[in-house]
Amino acid sequence: MSSSAHTAVATPGVPRLAQHFASLEVQNHAARLGMWLFLSTEILLFAGLFVCYGCYRYLFPEAFAAASRHLDLTMGTVNTVVLITSSLTAALAVHYAKEGKSNLVALMFGLTIAMACAFLVIKGFEYSHKFEEGALPGPYYRMQAVQLPGVPLYFTIYFLATGLHAFHVIIGMSVLVWLMIKAIRERNFGPNNYTAVELGSMYWHLVDLVWIFLFPLLYLI
């Protein structure tokens, strides 16, 4: 009999205890620590871009300031509000999962996903506007309004950072969709079975966290 990581059928309201864990407590603790470690890798991933940003802003302050003022601050602020609210709904999803209200969990995640879509749509508008203006990275830059040394670098970093962020928004959305479906189908989240919701929600909060730093650094120079 080959080894399996899982025991037999799960009882409702209690997740399957993998047989290599000593207890459910240990399994949950392991899952949470694993997720925190994974989030730290995401932080270090974005860090490289923040370093490029920091150095080049230090080198080209006027260019960065001028370019930043050409971003649409309204859209950026709306996006920030949208993302923060989506974080709220994600946190509430965990709260309701602990209380065993799977319907509300699904609703909260649904709202989160909707707001994530809104974020991406607004971002899409911003990007298309940039393409029109010619505010593009490096050699493709052709915005006449701002012609300063370092401006193309600003937009390289802008697109790399927001692009990487948007990619993570999409990943986060997929995770949340999976969780929402799980909530609808199995309906068995509860005080002993909410770790999956917690972990998915944590990932979403990281996406929000990154944007909390990206927003002022890109839009408010």
Partner 1 sequence: MNPSSSTTAEGVLPAHDAHDAHHDHPSYLVDGTTIKSWLLTVDHKRIALMYLVWILLFFLVGGIFAMAIRIEMLTPGPTIMDAMTYNRTFTLHGMIMIFLFMIPAIPAVFGNFVLPLMLGAKDVAFPRLNLASLYIYLAGAFLALWGMLNGGLDTGWTFYTPYSTHTTTTVAPVLFGAFIIGFSSIATGLNFIVTIHTMRAPGITWFKIPLFGWALYATSCIQVLATPVIGLLLVIVSGEQLFHFGLFDPARGGDPVLFQHLFWFYSHPAVYIMVLPAFGVMSEIVATYSRKNIFGYRAVAYSSLGIAFVGFFVWGHHMFVSGQSTFDAGIFGVLTMLVGIFTAIKVFNWVGTVYKGAVEFRTPFAYFCGFLFFTVFGGMTGIAVATTSLDVHWHDTYFVVAHFHFIMVGATIMAFLAALHYWFPKMFGKTYHEGWGLVSAALIILGFNATFIPQFLLGNYGMPRRYFEYPERFQALNVASTAGSSLLAFGFIIIAIYLTYSLAYGRASGQNPWRSKGYEWLMASPPPTHNFVGPQPTYPEEPHFYVDPKKAEVPDVV
Partner 2 sequence: MSVANESHQEAQNMEHHGSGRYWLVWAALLVLTLVTVITGRMHIPNFALAVALLIATVKGTLVLLFFMHLIDHKGANRLVMAVSVLFVLMMLAMPMADFATRFRPANPAGSHLSDLPDLNFLEGKTGAHGSTGGAHGAGGHEAPSGGHEAPSPSGH
Window 47-76: contact mask with partner 1 (x via CB under 8 A): xxx-xx--xx--xx----------------
Question: Under a CB-based contact definition with an 8 Å cutoff, are residues 211 and 76 in contact?
Answer: no
The distance of closest approach from Cβ of residue 170 to partner 2 in the complex, given in angstroms and rounded to an integer, is 20
Residue 29 Cβ vs partner 2, minimum distance, rounded to whole Å? 4
- Cβ 89 to partner 1 shortest distance, Å: 28
Q: Which does 157 bind (CB under 5 to 8 A by kind): partner 1, partner 2, none?
A: partner 1
Q: What amino acid occupies position 34?
A: G
The encoded tokens of residue 171 equal: 């990943």
Residues 6+ apart with CB under 8 A from 128: none
- Element holding 161 (H helix, E strand): helix 151-186
Q: Does position 125 bind partner 1 by CB under 8 A?
A: no
- Residue 111's SS3 state is helix
Q: CB atoms < 10 A from the CB of 93, how many?
A: 31
Give the pair of three-digit tokens for residue 81.
């509000």
Q: Which parts of 140-199 interact with partner 2 (CB under 8 A)?
A: 140-144, 147-152, 191, 198
Cα separation, 94 vs 201, whole angstroms:
7
Q: Which of 172, 123, 198, 54 minimizes the C-alpha distance to 131?
A: 123
Cβ 157 to partner 1 shortest distance, Å: 8
Candidate residues 12, 14, 29, 61; the one interacting with partner 1 per rule CB under 8 A: 29
Site for partner 1 in 162-201 (CB under 8 A): 164
Check if the beta carbon of residue 197 is closer than 8 Å to that of residue 106.
no
The distance of closest approach from Cβ of residue 132 to partner 2 in the complex, given in angstroms and rounded to an integer, is 13
When the beta carbons of 9 and 44 are compared against partner 2, the nearer one is 44
For residue 160, what are its two tokens? Answer: 């790399």
Determine which residue in the list 4, 11, 19, 77 makes contact with partner 2, applying CB under 8 A: 77
Residues found near partner 1 in the complex (CB under 8 A): 1-5, 18-22, 26, 29-30, 33-34, 37-38, 40-42, 44-49, 51-52, 55-56, 59-60, 137-139, 149-150, 152-153, 156-157, 160, 164
